[in-house]
Structure 1
């Protein structure tokens, strides 16, 4: 197997940072201005803002790295990416429903994946300027400062982010978990875990590569884990881009939370 180039990873993270900031500026020109919108086949919304940002990102990133594959939520999947060792994985606006509803909890989520795992990642929240970055082996930062996963070691008193279908109910409350308000952007939800702003997070099944790849590296480099309910890490840039239900957080919380969520009682 070819040796991974750490300098290339760092350069790619810098490129993703530049691209995310530019994408955020474009998205903000549509934010709270009633952009044209429609519904995709899977009943999820898309707007002219998503398309404008996606086109800009594709032009900028593919010009900078013509040898990389391309996987984006808003671009038809031509499967050429499967032949590439490195690929961009892009969500031009993660949390489109929130974006269209006027919520400020949406992000631009960008990653470079190598051999199925993210090596460079940026999650950018344009409304408040929060910029989460990670490069494989170099840690996670939030606005230039080192970020780390929660230090909690017990579920009692821990905060949890996720959809009510996975994270609500008396069972969790009985173990002392406090559910925070719903965060429309899954990438942001996981980035908040990476920065220790939330202790643990869960995601329902069918999240896609573009929802997860960037935040996955943030969590990993901050000292945490993102994995499915069997404890298996995720693989990206595969023929299927969909994933099962997931949980993220520090190892001391992820393992007991998995057992708790798997218990039908």
Structure 2
């Protein structure tokens, strides 16, 4: 490759360094509120809580990231959507605290999720779980890492450890149910996907109406660890669209993914 060609390749490693530093700053700020008294209000007609910590973390992320990359778009759970993001090739996709309900109740399974999405595809992603002391990260052409060490999905055994909501199990195809062991509830969707990436579980089924900010960073980390997140029809996800919600999804690796998607198709109305 020529020197000229090299100079125009996007520097996703530099973006990774940027979002990692911002995620750590935001997560450490949120940790200062954790298991203490703080304000909480409800949005989306009372369905979704948001805490002072969510907003403080969001302010740090937005201030740092857009100051460094003013030409990037912005999509965050805690910011009113600005459709100018649709005109940008590259966008920050952010959840300041993924697992807010867990955070509010004092449980440590929550994380800061930050992704850089370029032309609909995540190209750099970070998950920071400060209460657990864990950092997951990846770029489009790099390894998935946890606390600096390379991670990979595990080889599926005869019995699959699958994270799935209890009310969905009975809707899966019966033969598949006999091959799985249900993992108890993991309140952060992003962290649940990271658990597949580092080999703790084999897969998960994601209910309808997850959002870009729940998924983008973890999707990249999982893919670089050897797994995949797909629609029940097997299609990869695209991000930074006008509609930022998704249908029923499955995540796993290899044959475990194909079997999971096949068993999950009845969950998605057509």
TM-score grouping bracket, smaller chain normalisation:
over 0.9
Distance 1:88 1:174, change over 3 A: closer
Which position in structure 2 is the counterpart of 1:243? 246
> 1:105 is matched with which residue: 93, 109, 115?
109
| Cα distance, 1:4 vs structure 2 | 10
| Cα distance, 1:78 vs structure 2 | 1.2
TM-score, normalisation: structure 1: 0.93
CA RMSD of aligned residues (A): 2.0
Deviation string for 1:136-180 (max 9, x for gaps)? Answer: 01120111111111211x5x3110113223346793784231111
Q: Does 84-93 or 162-171 show the bigger shift?
A: 162-171
Distance 1:114 1:174, change over 3 A: closer
Which position in structure 2 is the counterpart of 1:203? 206
Native 8 Å contact 1:161 1:167 kept in 2: no
Which stretches in structure 1 are left out of the alignment for 5+ residues? Answer: none
Native 8 Å contact 1:167 1:202 kept in 2: no
Task: Provide the rounded CA distance (Å) in 2 between the counterparts of 1:263 and 1:95.
Answer: 27
Q: Show the 5 A alignment for 1:130-209.
A: 130-152=134-156, 156-167=158-169, 171=174, 174-209=177-212
Deviation string for 1:37-70 (max 9, x for gaps)? Answer: 0110251111111111101110011001111000
| Cα distance, 1:79 vs structure 2 | 0.7
Task: Provide the rounded CA distance (Å) in 1 between the counterparts of 2:127 and 2:53.
Answer: 17
Residues 1:212 and 2:212 aligned together: no
Distance 1:44 1:3, change over 3 A: farther
Residues 1:74 and 2:78 aligned together: yes
Where has structure 1 moved over 3 Å in runs of 4 or more? 2-7, 167-174
Which position in structure 1 is the counterpart of 2:258? 255
> Aligned pairs, how many?
261
| Cα distance, 1:6 vs structure 2 | 5.2
| Cα distance, 1:129 vs structure 2 | 1.1
Task: Provide the rounded CA distance (Å) in 2 between the counterparts of 1:76 and 1:262.
Answer: 33
Task: Provide the rounded CA distance (Å) in 2 between the counterparts of 1:8 and 1:73.
Answer: 26
Distance 1:5 1:21, change over 3 A: farther
3-state SS of 2:60 partner: helix
Distance 1:172 1:110, change over 3 A: farther
Distance 1:167 1:121, change over 3 A: farther
Residues 1:83 and 2:87 aligned together: yes
| Cα distance, 1:241 vs structure 2 | 0.3
Q: Show the 5 A alignment for 1:38-77.
A: 38-42=41-45, 43-77=47-81
TM-score, normalisation: structure 2: 0.91
3-state SS of 1:248 partner: strand
| Cα distance, 1:8 vs structure 2 | 1.2
